[in-house]
A and B are shown apart, each in its own frame.
Chain A
């Protein structure tokens, strides 16, 4: 048996609530040579739709899953194997494959989101990974820790990863003591205190990148490196139609066109994504929190904080990642940082960490060393 050379392609598990997904379509043919990060199939859940990037390289010898069918998480959808593996061995592998029992029962799922009482109020967070340096993920304006759905597990292989909801966001307190960048950086620091994190690699997206950069200026001793993704704080321009539209949208009809700004591939904006964001916006206190943040950070349609000079001066090891098609903050802002490594990913929009997760994960892992 050459089973050792066979690599399965499985239905991914995106987030705790996912138990099954629809294999919408294959993006590669049988016999294709696949490299890590290649988009190999499209999968849709009740929450989200996305292309699945290959986690392993090899030749796609067999497509086991059929387009349009629903499969449980970790079901066998395809088989990668080198040419010397015989068809019989592949058949035997497919016949013997069993979907592993879901170890994440409901109690485990409930424990996977935790709450910390911090100086900035009650904050929700997720924690993955036992070994390695601490890494904190900071989402953007109107986002939450699930913006890191496709990143948190991959990063946890080499780091203790924490993703949390900023005040005013997700399931954290909706009270914003101070809607400025300094106030949010205080909240980040309060979270690190509560989670016993002395110093960490910070990975921020959009407004969260500006929050990370602000903390780098305020408390550089707590930061091992910076990764700034589609970052705010590096230039004056921002798509004010997006900000105003997100804050103002009161219905699905109003919100959906606004969310299309976030992705290069408009198919990724599912009804469920729109509904979940509406549910968030309808929680008491959220509208006020978003309005006060927008007023403080993006007054008159421009970004109020310009941190590039301070980041360069801090001499922190800094990586900048941008999607080439970012419609919210222009990718050209990456040029503002002279001392940083700059990576522009083609064909991705503002949510580049979701659209091109494998590439972003690989860049972050290489960056933190």
Chain B
């Protein structure tokens, strides 16, 4: 039956159910059990924000704490994936991925292609993304565009608990490397989640709100900001349609284009920095495929082209707000 579950608990449940279903699923990462020497009891740490809490007690040594060397254990996870396991590697903050780019970009992403389809790499790399956690410039980035850029990787970023569970199960069952981005400020966000295992397919955007005047496209936390903006705008008589991309690679441009064909206006929201972002990618695609439908120039609402500031006041300004999204929509409505 469905019950209200936080995104954090939904991710935990997805890992638990897939480990139960498939003995080849293993989980590895820094402090995911509870730190060096932990007895692995229920009170162990379970990851930096406790997402894997309780799993070690159930699944024992199929969860392992790794040394503080991302390059080593991400490489090990990718190698294990090519040899028949389905590892889920947790990398705490996506920002740290920089030290293992070769393993991810040149190895995992290329195996299927370079071995003529004979090699599969069913690895899932989970990592926290996003600002607003007062965690400064090296723990707050939204680096989704970097991974989306690389062919051979799949990139996921859920906005709610239901999608997070279904997308993570899909990621684990998928035979390609998946970068699974978890917005740290959505871990507490609750929605209806079925107890049973289920999947949400890749490349299928979700229309979370229907409207006829403007299309707002986003993912992750930005879906919630867009919803707030849409609520405000509805009071002004402007009906927004909100498209939650859910997966960035593959990306469901069909749904976006169809929506813009109805509304004629497009606002792309991205917590990432503006250059070569998901927002600019969507704007380019729509401009090419639905130019005739556009009644106004597409608007982009993104973080500025700066690192994430540590000052709380500046950090709050850095993240696209509901008000800035509403302003962008109003701009598209101007005669």
Does A284 count as interface, using CB distance less than 8 angstroms?
yes
In the assembled complex, the Cα of A174 lies from the Cα of B1 at a distance in Å of: 12
Using CB atoms, name the residue of chain B closest to A252.
B204
- CB distance A251 to B204 under 8 Å? yes
In the assembled complex, the Cα of A171 lies from the Cα of B201 at a distance in Å of: 21
In the assembled complex, the Cα of A115 lies from the Cα of B200 at a distance in Å of: 26
Using CB atoms, name the residue of chain B closest to A275.
B206
In the assembled complex, the Cα of A113 lies from the Cα of B3 at a distance in Å of: 12
Closest chain-B Cβ to A269's Cβ sits at a distance in Å of 14
Does B43 count as interface, using CB distance less than 8 angstroms?
no
In the assembled complex, the Cα of A101 lies from the Cα of B197 at a distance in Å of: 37
Residues of B close to A251: CB separation below 8 A:
201, 204
In the assembled complex, the Cα of A202 lies from the Cα of B198 at a distance in Å of: 32
Binary contact track A242-259/B, C-beta < 8 Å → 1, others 0: 000000001110000000
A-B contact count (CB 8 A): 30
- CB distance B201 to A279 under 8 Å? no
- CB distance B210 to A279 under 8 Å? no
Chain B interface bracket (under 10, 10 to 19, 20 to 34, 35 or more): 10 to 19
B194, B201, B207, B210: which contacts A283 (Cβ < 8 A)?
B194
Binary contact track B4-44/A, C-beta < 8 Å → 1, others 0: 00000000000000000000000000000000000000000
Binary contact track A103-144/B, C-beta < 8 Å → 1, others 0: 000000000010100000000100000000000000000000
Interface residues of B in 157-195 (CB under 8 A from A): 162, 166, 194
Q: Are A282 and B199 CB-contacts (below 8 A) given A251-B204, A271-B207, A271-B210?
A: yes
- CB distance A282 to B1 under 8 Å? no
Does B196 count as interface, using CB distance less than 8 angstroms?
yes
Does B2 count as interface, using CB distance less than 8 angstroms?
yes
In the assembled complex, the Cα of A171 lies from the Cα of B1 at a distance in Å of: 6
Using CB atoms, name the residue of chain B closest to A272.
B210
Residues of B close to A283: CB separation below 8 A:
194, 196-198
Binary contact track B300-335/A, C-beta < 8 Å → 1, others 0: 000000000000000000000000000000000000
A113, A115, A284: which contacts B196 (Cβ < 8 A)?
A284
- CB distance A113 to B1 under 8 Å? yes
Using CB atoms, name the residue of chain B closest to A281.
B198
In the assembled complex, the Cα of A119 lies from the Cα of B198 at a distance in Å of: 25
Using CB atoms, name the residue of chain B closest to A283.
B198
Residues of A close to B210: CB separation below 8 A:
271
Closest chain-B Cβ to A186's Cβ sits at a distance in Å of 23
- CB distance B196 to A174 under 8 Å? yes
Closest chain-A Cβ to B176's Cβ sits at a distance in Å of 19
- CB distance B198 to A279 under 8 Å? yes
Using CB atoms, name the residue of chain B closest to A115.
B1
In the assembled complex, the Cα of A115 lies from the Cα of B198 at a distance in Å of: 20
In the assembled complex, the Cα of A251 lies from the Cα of B246 at a distance in Å of: 14
- CB distance B196 to A250 under 8 Å? no
Binary contact track B200-229/A, C-beta < 8 Å → 1, others 0: 110010010010000000000000000000
Q: Are A282 and B207 CB-contacts (below 8 A) given A113-B1, A174-B196, A250-B201?
A: no
A-B contact pairs, 5 of them (CB 8 A): A174-B196, A279-B162, A282-B201, A284-B196, A284-B198
**Could you tell me which B residues sit within 8 Å of A by CB distance?**
1-2, 162, 166, 194, 196-201, 204, 207, 210
**Could you tell me which A residues sit within 8 Å of B by CB distance?**
113, 115, 124, 171, 174, 250-252, 271, 279, 282-285
Taking A171-B1, A284-B199 as known contacts, 16 extra A-B pairs with beta carbons closer than 8 A to each other, sorted by chain A number, are: A124-B1, A171-B2, A171-B194, A174-B196, A250-B201, A251-B201, A251-B204, A252-B204, A279-B162, A279-B194, A282-B198, A282-B200, A283-B194, A283-B196, A283-B198, A284-B198
